[in-house]
């Protein structure tokens, strides 16, 4: 994905617009609906995978809550 990492937000917007128009060309509204829902479904699953990976990584990191050794009195 390194090529997408180098795009500005504006460039990414233009790219998605071009892809949407190209994929929709010469298709009926029903076909566009099916294709659009298919793409959204893929996106939802990718977001779920990413969220679970972030959650697992966060669980591996040490807790930031203070322990008895961190507390000083006086």
pLDDT tens for each residue of 20-50 = 999 999 999 999 999 999 999 999 999 999 9
Burial of residue 35 (CB within 10 Å: 0-12, 13-18, 19+) is middle
pLDDT bucket at 15, cuts 50 / 70 / 90: very high
- Is 7's pLDDT higher than 70? yes
Give the separation between CA 35 and CA 5, rounded to whole angstroms.
25
pLDDT at res. 4:
82
Give the separation between CA 3 and CA 49, rounded to whole angstroms.
21
Distances (CA, A) of 73 to 21, 68, 69: 66, 11, 11
pLDDT bucket at 57, cuts 50 / 70 / 90: very high
pLDDT bucket at 59, cuts 50 / 70 / 90: very high
């Amino acid at each position: 994905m390194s090529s997408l990492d180098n795009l500005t937000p504006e460039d990414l917007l233009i790219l998605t617009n071009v892809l949407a128009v190209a994929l929709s060309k010469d298709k009926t509204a029903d076909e566009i609906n099916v294709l659009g829902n298919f793409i959204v479904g893929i996106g939802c699953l990718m977001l779920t995978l990413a969220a679970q990976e972030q959650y697992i990584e966060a669980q591996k990191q040490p807790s930031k809550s203070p322990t008895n050794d961190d507390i000083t009195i006086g």
